[in-house]
Amino acid sequence: MMFTNEKPIFQQMADRLTDEILAGTYGDDDRIPSVREYAVTLEVNTNTAVKAYEQLARESIIYNKRGLGYFVTPGARKQILEERRRAFLQQTLPELFRQMQLLGLELGDIERVWTAELSKK
């Protein structure tokens, strides 16, 4: 995984795991990789992975079964989706619209790019 300087690594790890839940890699009550497994996979310190898992547990995205590992909390996908949509509408879109205005772009320009991107898939 390529990490950026925009967020702490543990936050980027948590984001990746939530992306995997959104994508359906892990469903309700599915076991996720152990902290060590995830740290090795992403080539980070185990303590960094622990921080990511602790954050997700605090947010009730995952839960720990002592001795068995971490599992996806039922309803986590819906919770993540709602939060990401809210953030997109309140943070990302206003900045996108500001940039569009500065660059003289219109919604039709964006729609053409969006349509072309969808046709690739």
Per-residue pLDDT at 34: 95
Per-residue pLDDT at 83: 96
pTM as predicted = 0.82
Average pLDDT over residues 34-55: 95
Residue 21 has pLDDT above 90, yes or no: yes
Average pLDDT over residues 13-38: 96
Residue 2 has pLDDT above 80, yes or no: no
Average pLDDT over residues 13-35: 96
Q: What is the pLDDT of residues 93-109, one digit of tens each?
A: 999 999 999 999 999 99
- Short-list 117, 7, 105, CA closest to 51: 7
Residue 80 has pLDDT above 90, yes or no: yes
Per-residue pLDDT at 4: 81
Per-residue pLDDT at 118: 93
